[in-house]
Chain A
Amino acid sequence: MADIQQLQKLSTQVRRDIVRMVHAVSSGHPGGSLGCTDFLVALYNGVMKHDSNNFTMDGKGEDLFFLSNGHISPVYYSVLARCGYFPVEELKTFRRLNTRLQGHPTTHDHLPGIRIASGSLGQGMSVAIGAALTKKLNHDNSIIYSLHGDGELQEGQIWEAAMYAAANKVDNYIATIDYNGRQIDGDVDNVLSLGNLKAKFEAFGWQVVETERGNDLVSVIEGLSKSKSYIGKGKPIVNIMKTEMGAGVDFMMGTHKWHGSAPNDEQLAKALGQLEETLGDY
């Protein structure tokens, strides 16, 4: 496990990457990307067992991660690149013609680190369950992780998957919910309330872990460690992680408006002024 200060530096750099990537092409999704930065930084730097130098689709003997809310591709790409899956320089190509860094992640262009296409919401939990079943069939005791937006939970397929995973004791699987309370059209509570999310997952038969401060690396790591402690105990695990959409850039926080909007030149400068360049920009 890298020390917290190092991870903090990485998080700050990833946030710089995110705002620079979406600014460069005037499109993309900075809000959720910034909110999930600490989670993905922690996951890929100490929590997950993975090999960024020898990526294989099958990932035998490795923990696997599936991003179900594919629109937060900027944070995913930045974390993968800064872990060594592909050159950091390639972040320049995000959303540009002929890039491997498509608007939403895909296996189509063979970008190391990606094992499924996502973007159309609600599909990643099913895929993660399938991968978890194969781990069991292969007697591979690695862990499957996935990340979902809270708005994404409005998709019916999520609940088909949730029912299946509990009924079939898929207990080598940790799903994390980015519980930021916001989606494109506004607050989740106003668009379509999720009600009592913890009670819903418990009623479906899941082990629920709550991470109260999803933008605090220590809290994120604690939440994931607690989640891992339930592996192999007969239930799928959900980590309901409270985050702030836009975390790290003051004017992107407290609103849903930066879900899918890119900053202009002036806004970029303001954002970068709040994010120290720690590891070098691409």
Chain B
Amino acid sequence: MKKYTYTEKKDTRSGFGVGLQELGKTNPNVVALCADLIGSLKMDAFKAENPERFFQVGIAEANMIGIAAGLTIGGKIPFTGTFANFSTGRVYDQIRQSVAYSGKNVKICASHAGLTLGEDGATHQILEDIGLMKMLPHMCVINPCDYNQTKAATIAIAEYDGPVYLRFGRPSVPNFTDANQSFEIGKAVLLNEGTDVTIIATGHLVWKAIEAGEKLAEQGISAEIINIHTIKPLDNDAILTSVSKTRCVVTAEEHQMHGGLGDSVAQLLSRHLPTPQEFVAVNDSFGESGTPDELMSKYGLDTIDIINATHKVLKRK
């Protein structure tokens, strides 16, 4: 079993900011828009270095999405930045018609996703965004797991021709992936091989899945750990290959159970390889104020929850 370590914790949004800053230097077509959250989205450096390619739109997210769609006409690659709630639910129709249906090359970059937004509470803690975005035809949905991976994903999506939803967050989490990784959209990352259970995680739950795998090993359970950074298109082959070996699966995500990664995995398995599955996700509930750690514990998104789900699914094999 591979042992993962990290030297520091960093926020994924800062990975986005650094990735965007690099794109500012390397890709003259990249432009960025923000709806009054430049600091929160870590877009300061891009703005400072590329003032003519940065558009502050104010607190007007619908207009931001429309302007982004228009900017593509003539070859620009717009990256929009605001909180995940205002990047999706608030502007769903604008994304649906002006971006997705119109096939525009817009990158919707969303921070503060999920419960780990913390104290601001449920109004801002969107747990439905992955579902909203993955339902849109041809929308690519990416949820990287740490700072390095978010940076790599940000750079990678500029090269992808089509609409993308890139989801990241506010808290500092272990930064354990390779700083020089190549990011392949739609390609799962096999973190640890195992034989008893497949644990498929995305975003902030990936590190918790690694921790769970270590604890399960101490209990004599061999867990295969997969990092799904791209929820759509899903890496069907990687999942089917693993699950055909382990014959049971736990999915883990900071999102509603309805509409998230777990749903996508269940749909795949029900069609090709019916398999017992347990879901570590928020169960049809809004969040609330609290620290990120308190919330992840209260809503069942912790390492222990992955371990418990594993024990449960093993009994169903």
Q: Is the interface of B mostly helix, strand, loop or mixed?
A: helix
A133-B71 CB under 8 A given contacts A107-B103, A160-B60, A164-B58: yes
- Considering the chains assembled together, what is the distance between the CA atoms of A128 and B74 in angstroms? 12
Alpha-carbon distance between A106 and B100 when the two chains are bound, in angstroms = 11
Asked, given contacts A126-B65, A157-B62, A164-B63, whether A132 binds B97 with beta carbons under 8 Å apart, the answer is no
Q: With contacts A126-B66, A127-B66 known, is A115 near B73, CB below 8 A?
A: yes
Contacts of A135 in B (CB 8 A): 74
Once A126-B66, A157-B66 are accepted as A-B contacts, the answer to whether A163 and B58 lie under 8 Å apart by CB is yes
Closest to B35 in A: A160
Task: Name the residue of chain A whose CB is nearest to the CB of B93.
Answer: A120
- A232 CB-CB contact with B under 8 Å: no
User: Which A residues touch B53, using CB under 8 A?
Assistant: 137
Task: For chain B, residues 47 to 73, give those with C-beta under 8 angstroms from any C-beta of chain A.
Answer: 52-53, 55, 57-58, 60, 62-73
Which of A106, A128, A129, A156 has the most chain B CB within a 10 Å cutoff?
A129
A residues less than 8 Å from B58 (CB atoms): 160, 163-164, 167
Cβ A120 vs Cβ B97 within 8 A: yes
How distant is the Cα of A175 from the Cα of B98 in the complex, in angstroms? 18
Determine if A138 is an interface residue (Cβ-Cβ < 8 Å). yes
Count B interface residues, CB 8 Å: 32
State which of A66, A108, A130 has its C-beta within 8 Å of the C-beta of B67: A130
Instruction: Name the CB-closest residue of A to B57.
Output: A164
* B98 & A126 in contact (Cβ 8 Å cutoff): yes
CB of B124 within 8 Å of the partner chain: no
From B57, B66, B75, A123 is in contact (CB under 8 Å) with B66
List residues of chain B with CB within 8 A of the CB of A161: 63, 66-67
Encoded as 1 (CB less than 8 Å from any B CB) or 0, chain A from 146 to 174 comes to 00000000001100110110011000000
B4 sits at the interface (CB 8 A): no
Least Cβ distance of B24 to chain A in Å? 14
A278 at the interface (CB under 8 A from B): no
Could you say which of A134, A156, A163 contacts B73, with CB atoms under 8 Å apart?
Answer: A134
- The answer to whether B75 touches A118, judged by C-beta atoms less than 8 angstroms apart, is no
Q: Is the CB of A59 within 8 A of B73?
A: yes
Q: Report how far A117 CA is from B136 CA in the complex, Å.
A: 15
Q: B98 is contacted by which of A59, A60, A127, A140 (Cβ under 8 Å)?
A: A127
Residue B76 lies at the interface, judged by CB distance under 8 Å to chain A: yes
A119 at the interface (CB under 8 A from B): yes
Write the B66-88 contact mask toward A (1 if CB under 8 angstroms, else 0).
11111111111010000000000
Give which listed residue, A117, A125, A137, contacts B52 with CB less than 8 A. Answer: A137
| Complex contacts, A123 vs chain B, CB 8 Å | 62, 66, 93-94, 97-98
A268 proximity list for chain B (CB < 8 A): none
Q: Decide yes or no: A164 and B74 within 8 Å by CB, A123-B97, A156-B62 being known contacts.
A: no
A163–B76 touching, CB < 8 Å: no
Q: Are B67 and A133 in contact (CB under 8 A)?
A: yes
Does A237 interact with chain B (Cβ within 8 Å)? no
A162–chain B nearest beta-carbon distance, Å: 9
Task: Tell yes or no: A58 within 8 A of B by CB.
Answer: yes
- Quick check: is A22 within 8 A (CB to CB) of the other chain? no
Q: Cβ of B97 and Cβ of A60 under 8 Å apart?
A: no
Residues of chain B in range 96-133 having any CB-CB distance to chain A below 8 Å: 96-98, 101-104
Residue pair A130, B66 in contact (C-beta under 8 Å): yes
Nearest A residue to B71 via CB reads A130
Interface pair A119/B63, CB less than 8 Å apart: no
Q: B274-316: which have CB < 8 Å to A?
A: none
Q: Are B102 and A107 in contact (CB under 8 A)?
A: yes
Among A107, A119, A134, A140, the most chain B Cβ lie within 10 Å of the Cβ of: A134
What residues on B are CB-neighbors of A106 within 8 Å? 101-102
Residue picked from B31, B57, B63, B76, most chain A C-beta under 10 Å: B63
Hey, which chain A residues are within 8 Å of B103, CB to CB?
107-108
A131, B97: Cβ atoms under 8 Å? no
CA distance A60 to B74 in the complex (A): 6
A57 touches B73 (CB 8 A): yes
A123-B98, A161-B63 given. 7 additional CB < 8 A pairs? A108-B103, A115-B73, A123-B93, A129-B67, A131-B73, A133-B71, A160-B58
Residues of B bordering A, CB below 8 Å: 31, 52-53, 55, 57-58, 60, 62-76, 78, 93-94, 96-98, 101-104
Residues of A participating in the B interface, judged by any CB pair closer than 8 Å: 57-60, 64, 66, 106-108, 115-120, 122-135, 137-138, 140, 156-157, 160-161, 163-164, 167-168
11 examples of A-B residue contacts, CB within 8 angstroms:
A58-B73, A116-B69, A126-B63, A127-B66, A127-B69, A128-B70, A129-B67, A130-B71, A131-B73, A133-B55, A134-B71
Q: Which 7 A-B pairs have the closest CB atoms?
A: A130-B70, A126-B66, A134-B74, A160-B63, A160-B60, A130-B67, A127-B70
